[in-house]
Amino acid sequence: NAGVTQTPKFQVLKTGQSMTLQCAQDMNHEYMSWYRQDPGMGLRLIHYSVGAGITDQGEVPNGYNVSRSTTEDFPLRLLSAAPSQTSVYFCASSYAGVYYKEQFFGPGTRLTVL
């Protein structure tokens, strides 16, 4: 199993550009989430999904869109990049059974917006 994969690993954008961060998992997990991590602020939830076709907003959703057309993929779209979106982005997935199990994290994408 590859686990949770994210692409790209690094990205530099100019203000106003759009892009999509890719996330995929091969563990058949129902739950998937996107976080951003800024210095001294832990992980903040952007959007999450409890299954294909179902998404919801987290703490900091503004400026980001998501969709979940398949169980495996959960892309994060930046609509018009701003310097405030410079951050490290993590995607995570977890099992949705009766007994909760931990989230598995991807390696992260380091995004810089100039």
Partner 1 sequence: EDKVVQSPLSLVVHEGDTVTLNCSYEVTNFRSLLWYKQEKKAPTFLFMLTSSGIEKKSGRLSSILDKKELFSILNITATQTGDSAVYLCTTAPIREQGGKLIFGQGTELSVKP
Contact between 103 and partner 1 by CB under 8 A: the answer reads yes
- State the nearest-atom distance from the C-beta of 107 to partner 1, in Å: 6
Contact between 106 and partner 1 by CB under 8 A: the answer reads yes
Contact between 71 and partner 1 by CB under 8 A: the answer reads no
- Exactly one of 1, 2, 9, 102 binds partner 1 (CB under 8 A); which one? 102
Using CB under 8 A, which of the segments 7-15, 18-26, 78-86, 88-96 binds partner 1?
A: 88-96
Residue 57 has which token pair? 């907003």
Distances (CA, A) of 89 to 13, 74, 75: 14, 13, 12
Asked, as a colleague might, if the bond just before 39 is cis with ω within 30 of 0, I would say: no
CB 33 within 8 A of CB 45: yes
Distances (CA, A) of 40 to 37, 43, 44, 106: 8, 9, 11, 20
Q: How many residues bind partner 1 (CB under 8 A)?
A: 31
Report 26-55 residues binding partner 1 (CB under 8 A): 30-33, 35, 40-45, 48-50
* Angle formed at CA 46 by CA 45 and CA 48, multiple of 5 degrees: 85
Cβ proximity to partner 1, 17 vs 61, nearer residue: 61
Residue 8 has which token pair? 């790209």
Residue 100 has which token pair? 């909760």
Contact between 94 and partner 1 by CB under 8 A: the answer reads yes
Binding residues vs partner 1 (CB under 8 A): 30-33, 35, 40-45, 48-50, 56, 58-59, 90, 92, 94, 96, 98, 100-108
